[in-house]
Amino acid sequence: MTTVSPNASPSAASATDFSQLPLTPATLDNLKQLGYLSMTPIQAACLPQALLGKDLIAQAKTGSGKTAAFALTLLANLNPRRFAVQTLVLCPTRELADQVTTEIRRLARAEDNIKVVTLCGGVPLRGQLATLEHGAHIVVGTPGRIMDHLERQSLQLDALNTLVLDEADRMLDMGFFDDIVKVARQCPKERQTLLFSATYPEGIAKLSAQFMREPLTIKVEAQHSGGQIEQRWYEVKDAERLHAVSQLLLHFRPASTLAFCNTKAQCRDLVAVLQAQGFSALALFGELEQRERDQVLVRFANKSCSVLVATDVAARGLDIASLAAVINVDVTPDAEVHVHRIGRTGRAGESGLALNLASLNEMGYVGKIEQMQGRESDWHPLSELSVASQEPLVPPMATLHIQGGRKEKIRPGDVLGALTADLGYTREQVGKINVNDWSTYVAVDRTIAEQVASRLNDGRIKGKSVKVRVLND
């Protein structure tokens, strides 16, 4: 096993420069434009081997830059002139698949006309079938929907040269082992297989034995630097656990918080408590319809919601920039999962805050976490928490839902133009704009949301009348 330390020494700086890799000048220029100044540890460990065509099993924490590690490899393997599916990326969730697709498209800008298609459940099959009829170079999707297309013979893998399994551990957790094996068997034997996983459960070795060729195993240390994330622990009784969450929020007042619960029922209960106390809180768990999931994720990412309450499976693949705090409402029995939970905050050199609630019957789990992290937990009494301000903790933005999206040829620039050039709002009053196939979501300053919705309903976007509403908790 090759183990790579996340802390590169200054003497190794040149080794982390993308120019050391056999990439085209156009790709290197694009990387600079995108702000990729040097390789992350997982990229530096994987890319030299992957670009040689080696099969890899790579273990790295969330947010380590693994998407670019495999995206640059598959793009190097791609022949743009051959209009056939040459890469398949399997992901556990639609959210992750969408993120991966976006990143591949960004990295593929150096090449002309690379077509990337996303195939996931929760969206009509009809549109996907029509898209596939026009061909694609790269397919990103979830195992279930990929299997569906293979059985319908709407997806052909004869030309495939690269298979990527992203967050393979979560796909195994979700029961996709057999589907993954079936998909792999339908791929050409002469191909490169790249497997990425945050943890290394038994099933990973079983998978690799079935269809990988002498894979190299690369492990990047999962721990975070001690000073990067401040961890605090609070002992609670089960009866006071949910109320303790609101105490933490009012004391620390984080701009955005991801709160982890071990069960869906706990998620529902916590959101109900927080909303009753005036917090902007939303839940994310497995039973939500895809449309609801999309809205929840968009609102949290664009700063229209202060607290997202989620289970581990539902939150997998979320990549929220500048997440101020993580609250572990329940302690996870798996110490590695704890590390990955708190690793959502304190990214890109920013400081992060991890707040943990634990009852007496969870102290065994806490001990496992201490053992893994190599340090004792920093305990604080709930009594030291005070209300920092009487002002309610509300998000700065609100989200408008516009009926109409890519299928109506709406682009983010069209929405921004309608708000700024047509209606006279400033760019500072407009936040993130997300355009889906049938819907568009735009974040605007909370104080003007109702006014903007009313004026847009009376106005036009791209010359067409639109229906607009404010999304509320």
List, for residues 260-294, the tens digit of each pLDDT value: 999 999 999 999 999 999 999 999 987 777 788 88
Cα separation, 198 vs 322, in Å, equals 21
The matching CATH number, chosen from 3.10.290.10, 3.90.1150.10, 3.30.70.330, 2.140.10.10, for 397-470 is 3.30.70.330
Domain ranges for the chain: 2-220, 229-384, 397-470
- For residue 16, the model assigns a pLDDT of 79
- For residue 319, the model assigns a pLDDT of 64
**pLDDT above 70 covers what percent of the chain?**
93
Taking alpha carbons only, the member of 75, 355, 348, 41 closest to residue 218 is 41
Q: Is residue 8 predicted with pLDDT exceeding 50?
A: no
Mean pLDDT of 180-207: 90
pLDDT band of 316, cuts 50, 70, 90: low
Q: Is residue 13 predicted with pLDDT exceeding 70?
A: no
Cα separation, 385 vs 64, in Å, equals 33
The string of DSSP letters for 127-183 reads HHHHHHHT--SEEEE-HHHHHHHHHHT-S--TT--EEEETTHHHHHHTT-HHHHHHH
The matching CATH number, chosen from 3.90.1640.30, 3.30.390.50, 3.90.1860.10, 3.40.50.300, for 2-220 is 3.40.50.300
pLDDT band of 38, cuts 50, 70, 90: confident
Cα separation, 126 vs 213, in Å, equals 36
**pLDDT above 90 covers what percent of the chain?**
60
Do 156 and 150 meet the contact criterion of CB atoms below 8 Å apart?
A: no
pLDDT band of 5, cuts 50, 70, 90: very low
Cα separation, 332 vs 262, in Å, equals 7
Query: Which residue would you say has higher pLDDT here, 471 or 5?
Result: 471
- For residue 348, the model assigns a pLDDT of 58
Element (H, E) at 425: none
pLDDT band of 428, cuts 50, 70, 90: very high
Mean pLDDT of 1-23: 60
**CATH topology assigned to domain 229-384:** Rossmann fold (3.40.50)
Do 232 and 354 meet the contact criterion of CB atoms below 8 Å apart?
A: yes
The answer to whether domain 2-220 and domain 229-384 are alike in fold is: yes
